[in-house]
């Protein structure tokens, strides 16, 4: 009888462990499916473009592909995992809370506390990912007094504007070059660049947060908006600088950063900028054996990133002086 009771208790204990374990395994399977579905966005560009093709035709195809990818997308991998974590915690609470109420405090208090913690963590993470909390206060961003365009860019974003000039007559330009920390420092060092701001553009979600963009589901790319004095530096030279900091033949990848949020692009604010960008890309294509896949699209509303991202590498001690010769180190 005693042996039978022990085996029964063991079976019950194994069942309690197995049920949450099955939920976690389901989450892993769904996550793996999500990775497979997203593999298409990381496919090398050379395998997706029809050959041969002209630069103009490639731009038309690029716009068509962006429109195709702008539709509904699968939940991101973090979203799937946070949802599974929250569901598992709820399952645990549904078992432990009634037992606590009927039997009083017991050894189940520690697992109960863990379920409460994981449920809260999952809820906060999902809320951040959906932009329900952590919205950016554009009015509190840095301004020109520290060489930042963030506050002005925030005012333009709040008004839904795509500016061509600042109130004091400087031209506006927008580029994407992978991780925006490094891109910003590259351009801060250029004589004639007056102010810079990192943020998000070319997406379908208004005023996104870093967590939302990192999910890869909003359509945005990490980007840089800047003011420049065309009497000191030409727009075409700025385009050439961008192309020198990326592999222009790599789709959705700069260095070790991969994903649609790291795609590189030139986003023109005027017809003149669009023509200069076209010339710069044609010159670059002449140097490359593989297709140049850097986006060339009209600028859309640019949303500044959180203040801690602004001038991040300069704040970390890297030299932002004009013509500074030191190598840009993207993470410190």
Residues with a known catalytic role: 179
The half-sphere exposure of 47 on its side-chain side, counting CA atoms within 13 A, is 6
Q: How many Cβ atoms are within 10 Å of 27's Cβ, its own excluded?
A: 18
DSSP, res 261? G
Residue count of the chain, please give it. Answer: 332
Buried b (16+ CB within 10 A) or exposed e, 77-102: bbbbbbbbbbbbbeebbebbeeeeee
**Which of 291, 331, 325, 327 is closest to 54 using CA atoms?**
291
Extract long-range pairs of 254-257: CB within 8 Å, 24+ residues apart.
254/177, 254/178, 254/179, 255/178, 255/179, 255/330, 257/178, 257/179
CA distance 19 to 299: 50
**Which of 173, 160, 166, 159 is closest to 144 using CA atoms?**
166
Asked if 185 contacts 170 with a C-beta cutoff of 8 angstroms, the reply is no
Beta-bridge mates of residue 222: 200
Beta-bridge mates of residue 176: 265
Tokens of 247: 């592999």
CA distances (Å), origin 274, targets 231, 265, 287: 19, 12, 20
- Is the dihedral angle over the CA atoms 259, 260, 261, 262 positive or is it negative? positive
Q: What is the 3-state secondary structure (H, E, C) of 24-93?
A: HHHHHHHHHHHHHHHHHHHCCHHHCCCCCCCHHHHHHHHHHHHHHHCCCCCCCHHHHHHHHHHHHHHHHH
């Amino acid at each position: 009888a005693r042996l039978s009771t022990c085996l029964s208790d063991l079976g019950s204990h194994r069942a309690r462990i197995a049920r949450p374990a099955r939920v976690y395994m389901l989450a892993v399977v769904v996550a793996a499916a999500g990775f497979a579905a997203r593999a298409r966005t990381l496919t090398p560009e050379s395998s997706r473009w029809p050959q041969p093709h002209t630069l103009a035709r490639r731009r038309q195809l690029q716009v068509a592909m962006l429109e195709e990818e702008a539709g509904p997308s699968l939940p991101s991998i973090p979203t799937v995992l946070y949802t599974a974590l929250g569901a598992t915690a709820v399952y645990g609470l549904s078992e432990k809370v009634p037992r606590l109420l009927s039997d009083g405090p017991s050894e189940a208090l520690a697992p109960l506390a863990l379920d409460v913690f994981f449920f809260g963590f999952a809820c906060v993470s999902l809320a951040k990912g959906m932009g329900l909390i952590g919205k950016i206060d554009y009015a509190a961003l840095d301004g020109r007094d520290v060489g930042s365009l963030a506050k002005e860019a925030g005012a333009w974003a709040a008004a839904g504007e795509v500016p061509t000039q600042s109130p004091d007559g400087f031209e506006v330009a927008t580029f994407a070059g992978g991780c925006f920390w490094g891109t910003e420092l590259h351009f801060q060092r250029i004589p004639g660049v007056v102010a810079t701001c990192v943020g998000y553009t070319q997406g379908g979600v208004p005023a996104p947060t870093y967590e939302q963009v990192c999910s890869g589901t909003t359509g945005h790319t990490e980007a840089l908006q800047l003011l420049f004095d065309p009497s000191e530096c030409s727009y075409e030279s700025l385009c050439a600088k961008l192309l020198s900091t990326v592999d222009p033949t790599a789709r959705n990848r700069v260095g070790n950063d991969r994903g649609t949020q790291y795609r590189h692009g030139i986003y023109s604010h005027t017809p003149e900028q669009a023509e200069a960008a076209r010339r710069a890309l044609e010159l670059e294509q002449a140097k490359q054996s593989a297709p140049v896949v850097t986006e060339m699209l009209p600028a859309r509303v640019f949303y500044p990133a959180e203040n801690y991202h602004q001038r991040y590498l300069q704040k970390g001690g890297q030299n932002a002086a004009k013509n500074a010769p030191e190598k840009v180190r993207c993470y410190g």
